[in-house]
Amino acid sequence: MPWDTRDTMSLRREFILLAMHEGANRRELCRRFGISPKTAYKWLARYAKDSEGLQDRSRRPLHSPSRTAPGLEAVVLALRREHPAWGGRKISKRLEKLGCTDAPAPSTVTSILHRHGLISEVASMQATAWQRFEHAQPNELWQIDFKGNFPTPAGLCFPLTMIDDHSRFNLALAACAHTNTKSVQLILTETFCRYGLPVRINADNGAPWGSPSEREHGITRLTVWLIRLGIRISHSALAHPQTNGKDERFHRSLKAEVLNGRSFHDLEQVQRAFDDWRHVYNEQRPHEALDYATPIERYQPSSRTFPAQLPSIEYGPNDIVVEVGWNGSVRFKGRTLKVSSALHRLPIAFRSDPDKDGAYDVYFCHKRIMRLSLHDFDSIA
């Protein structure tokens, strides 16, 4: 993947931080980031000697033995001004990671912010700690969704976001002009090339993801492509957006730290703001749910690489394989059955249930799309 000159330094930092993980496959990372091993090892060696050459100014160590209390308070306030949505715990942890050995405790930082009128009563009431379930390893589950939309003079912006469930690492943050399959597939292709393939992706209900409760069993052109890549697809429960809770929480941070109180001329300006904040979110911003680690400290790219072409579709020797016709219909044992128009000209498999006469499970690749009973011709999505 060619490097975007707009954010070369951010990509370089991201590569180095991922390559420094224990057991990281550096050769594979070089391929995904589009750089030569020679260049990569040169950067790693330079980073080992002096990390300043690869860091933004805000990552400069702040420790000074002679720093006075007023000076330290000024540093706290400066960090708060840079990140207005950060509270005492995030700022305290960030100062520690920047090398400030006398970083004030979170309670002290909170007191400083209160004293300067930077924490409202409403914000204090909303600061309630709680826990979420998370998957045990990176890339077991990615969560994806659009964060609504907002206007710019050049047209509507639809922010597309994707989060790794285990690490909260932001894999994609794109300012899209449309929510169609073509736009999403382009972003996903870029993401898969760089970070590999996940085991499963969870999405909301509706276009372009599809929904198991909808007509045609939630199979869309986008989910057909993902299924053929070997990715399992799941959907949030209807009227329960918390199923995609980590991505929803990411949306709150995006709104508070990037979108609130700002206007943008066009999508390019939005994307620049997204790129700048993504670097902060993944590499600088301490995360409460990660015990104040940053997402990149817990994330590792997937070992499953994005293939140059879609793998062929294969089924078992006992499956009855039928090609889907026009309008998503198939003929099976003298009956016409509607599956999905997105499967036109693709093979699906009817797999008999050995414990129930006349019952079949209908599969597309690894995904069961419906269950069929020939006795009453009822189907259950």
Query: Which residues in 295-316 are b (16+ Cβ under 10 Å) and which e?
Result: bbbbbbbbebebeeeeeeeebe
Q: Are 59 and 284 in contact (CB under 8 A)?
A: yes
* Residues of the chain above pLDDT 90, percent: 44
pLDDT of residue 54: 58
200 and 277 together in one domain: yes
Q: What integer pLDDT is reported at residue 131 of this predicted model?
A: 41
293-337 pLDDT, tens digit each: 899 999 999 999 999 999 999 999 999 999 999 888 999 988 888
Closest C-alpha to 43, from 32, 30, 56, 31: 30
pLDDT (0 to 100) of residue 194 = 96
Cα–Cα distance measured from residue 322 to residue 248, given in angstroms and rounded to the nearest whole number: 40
Q: Answer yes or no: do 204 and 232 share one domain.
A: yes
**Nearest 10 degrees: Cα torsion 220, 221, 224, 228:** -160
Domain identity same for 170 and 289: yes
Asked if 281 contacts 253 with a C-beta cutoff of 8 angstroms, the reply is yes
Name the residue with higher pLDDT: 51 or 213. 51
Asked if residue 161 and residue 77 are part of one domain, the reply reads: no
Per-residue pLDDT of 128-142, as tens digits, reads 443 455 677 999 999
pLDDT, mean of residues 70-87: 84
Domain check: are 338 and 285 in the same one? no
pLDDT of amino acid 45? 87
Q: Which domain holds residue 334?
A: 320-380
Judge if 269 and 148 occupy the same domain: yes
Domain count, the chain: 4
Same domain, 187 and 251: yes
- Mean pLDDT over 14-32 rounds to 90
Q: Is residue 304 part of a domain?
A: no
| Residue 313, domain member (yes or no) | no
CA-to-CA separations, 309 to 216, 225, 228, 306, 312, in angstroms, rounded: 26, 11, 10, 9, 9
DSSP 9-63: HHHHHHHHHHHTSTT--HHHHHHHHT--HHHHHHHHHHHHH-GGGGS-GGGS---
User: Would 113 be classed as within a structural domain?
Assistant: yes
- Of the given ranges (238-242, 358-362, 372-376), which has the lowest mean pLDDT? 238-242
pLDDT of res. 57: 40
Whether the ω angle into residue 151 lies within 30 degrees of 0, i.e. cis, is no
Q: Are residues 273 and 336 in the same domain?
A: no
Q: Report pTM.
A: 0.74
Give the phi and the psi of residue 63 in degrees, each rounded to 5.
-70, 135
For the chain, percent helix, then strand, then coil, each to nearest 5? 40, 20, 40
**Better-predicted residue by pLDDT, 49 or 177:** 177
| Per-residue pLDDT band at 158 (split at 50, 70, 90) | very high
Asked, for residue 309, whether it belongs to a domain, the answer is no
* Contact yes or no for 191/169 (Cβ under 8 A): no
Tell me if 136 is assigned to some domain: no
Nearest to 379 by CA among 353, 356, 352, 360: 360
Is 292 within a domain?
A: yes
Residue pair 222/235 in contact by the 8 Å Cβ criterion: no
Domain membership flag for residue 354: yes
Question: What is the structure's pLDDT at 217?
Answer: 54
Over residues 200-220, the mean pLDDT reads 74
On the question of pLDDT at 68 being above 90, the answer is: no
| Residue 140: per-residue pLDDT | 93
Q: Are residues 100 and 233 in the same domain?
A: no
pLDDT class for 377, splitting at 50, 70, 90?
Answer: low
Amino acid at 195: Y
Query: Do 63 and 192 fall into the same domain?
Result: no
Mean pLDDT of the chain: 83
